[in-house]
Amino acid sequence: MLANSPLAGWFAGIWTTPVSLSLGTWTVSGDLGHLIINDGLMVMFFFIVGLEVKREIVHGELHDPRKALLPVFAALGGVVMPAAIYLALQWGQPGQHGWAIPMATDIAFLQSGVHPTVAGVLLGLMTPAGAWVARQPLADALQTAWRHASDSEGAAHVTRTVAGHTQVVAREAVSPLHRLEEGLHPWVAFGVMPLFALANAGVVLQLSSLGEPVAIAVASGLGLGKPVGIMLLCLLAVRLRITQLPEGVTWPMLTGGACLAGVGFTMALFLNGLAFPAGEVAGLEAAGKVGTLAGSAVSAVLGAVVLTAAVRR
């Protein structure tokens, strides 16, 4: 709304505010949107991503190689089918070069700097997933200490000592991965991600482009190609017993998730800019942007409706 209002210039100028950090002769500089948000705060998001992947690999669904193959097949279908639909609608047309636009599925509205965010994922993957103190030995030790405390002369002193150390020792019974994931999730979900979306969602809409062939092709690739491709490949892989659905997940649930995969925001817009450089082919860049937003909106609504119905059943 701000990007399409009289405040558009002011809104865009906020994120280009120069920012620099100096320590002696070392200096890093850039603008507010890129340096602080996309390259800085987003590291925290990708750190959470790394923690979640590590948890799933060690303790979750990805621990089983057969189950881990499901998202691989889903990703393959979700990349090939949207591109195929786009090419089918644009083959031989000026917009043919935009076939990669609907391939993107955004997990973070993704225009972040590569190196810091990859470092965040790697740090998450390196975080220990096991506790220093196992739960049962911890419980046994505390019970023994408490029993001795009630029988000794210095019962009050021992009791205070045990109570004082219980919290510290109990903390080590929870893995660093779990503590970090639980502690950072609220900051990322309610702080980093909304701020990142605000800084990167400033797209000037041209609704007249909605009927353009490129816009229709992009929207079709995202809204139709993503769920169809994902479901076809997943169904094939499960029926061939190559992989299996996660525990508690039904086909309607997976269908809703497949629809949500059509939400392609910043990465799709980035690919749109590469396919149709501004001014090179009149109207194609604007049509690609509108098609991306339209396809993403349809995917979000459809996915929410399907998932809501699936969970209620």
Predicted local distance difference test score (pLDDT) of residue 173: 66
3 state SS of 210: coil
Comparing 179-183, 281-285, 300-304, which segment has the lowest mean pLDDT?
281-285
pLDDT of residue 118 exceeding 70, the answer is no
Predicted local distance difference test score (pLDDT) of residue 220: 96
Compute the mean pLDDT over every residue in the chain, rounded to the nearest whole number. 81
Predicted local distance difference test score (pLDDT) of residue 194: 86
One domain, residues 140 and 276 = no
One domain, residues 197 and 146 = no
Question: Taking the alpha carbons of 211, 217, 218, 224 in that order, is the dihedral positive or negative?
Answer: positive
Q: Give the CB-side neighbour count of residue 305, counting CA atoms within 13 A.
A: 6
H or E segment to which residue 18 belongs: strand 18-23
Predicted local distance difference test score (pLDDT) of residue 301: 96
pLDDT of residue 115 exceeding 70, the answer is no
Flag whether 47 is in a domain.
Answer: no
Predicted local distance difference test score (pLDDT) of residue 228: 96
pLDDT of residue 209 exceeding 70, the answer is yes
Flag whether 192 is in a domain.
Answer: yes
pLDDT of residue 112 exceeding 50, the answer is no
One domain, residues 278 and 145 = no
Flag whether 45 is in a domain.
Answer: no
CATH assignment at residue 267: 1.20.1530.10
Do 28 and 19 form a contact (C-beta atoms < 8 A)?
no
Binned at pLDDT 50, 70 and 90, residue 264 comes out as confident
Compute the average pLDDT of residues 23-36: 86
One domain, residues 109 and 148 = no
Binned at pLDDT 50, 70 and 90, residue 279 comes out as low
Distance CA 255, CA 95 (A): 30
Q: When comparing pLDDT for 111 and 256, which is higher?
A: 256
One domain, residues 141 and 196 = no
One domain, residues 154 and 105 = no
One domain, residues 93 and 196 = yes
Question: Which amino acid does the sequence have at 116?
Answer: P
H or E segment to which residue 231 belongs: helix 226-239
Q: When comparing pLDDT for 131 and 77, which is higher?
A: 77
One domain, residues 291 and 233 = yes
One domain, residues 142 and 109 = no
Predicted local distance difference test score (pLDDT) of residue 56: 78
Compute the average pLDDT of residues 73-82: 93
Flag whether 265 is in a domain.
Answer: yes
- What are the structure tokens assigned to 202, written together? 């400033």
Flag whether 301 is in a domain.
Answer: yes
Q: Report the number of distinct structural domains present in the chain.
A: 2
- Domain boundary residue among 171, 193, 218? 171
Flag whether 129 is in a domain.
Answer: no
Q: When comparing pLDDT for 281 and 292, which is higher?
A: 292
Do 11 and 200 form a contact (C-beta atoms < 8 A)?
no
Binned at pLDDT 50, 70 and 90, residue 164 comes out as low
One domain, residues 140 and 104 = no
Compute the average pLDDT of residues 254-264: 92
Flag whether 17 is in a domain.
Answer: no
Nearest-10 Cα torsion for 89, 92, 94, 95: 30
pLDDT of residue 261 exceeding 80, the answer is yes
One domain, residues 302 and 158 = no
Between helix 251-260 and helix 226-239 the angle, nearest 10°, is 140
3 state SS of 221: helix
One domain, residues 159 and 226 = no
User: Percent of the chain beyond pLDDT 90?
Assistant: 31
Question: Which amino acid does the sequence have at 65?
Answer: P
Compute the average pLDDT of residues 127-136: 68
Do 61 and 246 form a contact (C-beta atoms < 8 A)?
yes
Compute the average pLDDT of residues 99-127: 66
Predicted local distance difference test score (pLDDT) of residue 218: 95
Q: Is the pTM of this model over 0.85?
A: no
Compute the average pLDDT of residues 124-137: 69
pLDDT of residue 72 exceeding 80, the answer is yes
Domain around 208: 64-113+185-312
